[in-house]
């Protein structure tokens, strides 16, 4: 026996049945409570996948409510300047599916939203999102198929929002030092990379 659970049948034989409430709480739309949570959320993680590529999880952030509820079955998520790797957007453009997990600082409640998605550059949609005189580069249009409040235990265990659980930044080298080492930039001072990153955050945030 290699102790590997290889399929859903193996998993179901090993784990207890899901709590009925964990199944019943799932909705096929954004209700009042989901909408309220999205309106307070400044941070969401995006899960995506496609054939021929590894799965990807990517963060997105903005002012609370930067993801908007167009209607109970549709969300709009703007895309602002990033590194242009386009890992998530490429996956979504090919597969047409996406998974979202919304967070609110200080809250252990999280919201999961799964569904189909498209990347729109329609000016009527990108123009809904304007910062510093710029419209969003594109907007992810999510058709909601599943929405439900996520179990809070991960955030309770991690103490993510508790100040006394925060690590001092000195526990890791600077971002510039890590980039220099990982990219083998032996002749580039880490301080120069840190300064460039900080300037980019100021100049190209939106």
Q: Give the domain ranges of the chain.
A: 9-158, 167-203
The answer to whether the beta carbons of residues 111 and 147 sit under 8 Å apart is yes
Q: pLDDT tens digits, residue range 183-199?
A: 999 999 999 999 999 99
pLDDT computed for residue 1 by the predictor: 57
Rounded to the nearest 10 degrees, what angle do helices 175-182 and 190-203 cross at? 110
To the question of domain 9-158 being in CATH 2.30.110.10, the answer is yes
pLDDT in the model for residue 59: 97
Separation CA 72–CA 65 (nearest Å): 15
Taking alpha carbons only, the member of 62, 94, 92, 99 closest to residue 78 is 62
**Quick check: 176 and 191 in contact, CB under 8 A?**
yes
- pLDDT one-digit tens code per residue, 25-54: 999 999 999 999 999 999 999 999 999 999
The tokens describing 30, both together, are 């954004």
Residue stretches of the chain with pLDDT short of 50: none
Half-sphere exposure of 168 (CA within 13 A, CB side): 2
The closest alpha carbon to 95, from 54, 49, 57, belongs to 49
In this prediction the pTM is 0.95
Q: Provide the CA 20 distance to its chain's centre, in angstroms.
A: 27
């Amino acid at each position: 026996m290699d102790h590997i659970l290889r399929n859903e049948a193996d998993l179901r034989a090993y784990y207890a049945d899901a709590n009925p409430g964990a199944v019943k709480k799932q909705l096929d739309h954004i209700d009042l409570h989901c909408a309220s949570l999205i309106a307070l959320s400044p941070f969401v993680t995006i899960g995506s996948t496609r054939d021929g590529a590894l799965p990807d999880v990517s963060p997105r952030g903005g002012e609370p409510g930067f993801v908007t509820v167009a209607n109970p079955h549709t969300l709009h998520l703007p895309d602002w300047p990033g590194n242009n790797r386009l890992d998530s957007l490429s996956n979504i453009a090919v597969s047409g599916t996406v998974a979202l997990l919304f967070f609110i600082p200080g809250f252990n409640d999280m919201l999961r939203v799964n569904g189909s998605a498209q990347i729109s550059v329609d000016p009527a949609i990108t123009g809904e999102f304007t910062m510093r005189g710029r419209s969003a580069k594109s907007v992810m249009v999510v058709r909601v198929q599943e929405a439900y409040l996520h179990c809070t235990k991960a955030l309770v265990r991690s103490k993510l929002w508790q100040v006394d659980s925060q690590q001092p930044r000195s526990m890791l080298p600077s971002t510039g030092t890590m980039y220099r080492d990982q990219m083998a930039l032996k002749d580039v001072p880490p301080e120069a990379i840190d300064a460039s990153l900080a300037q980019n955050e100021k100049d190209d945030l939106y």
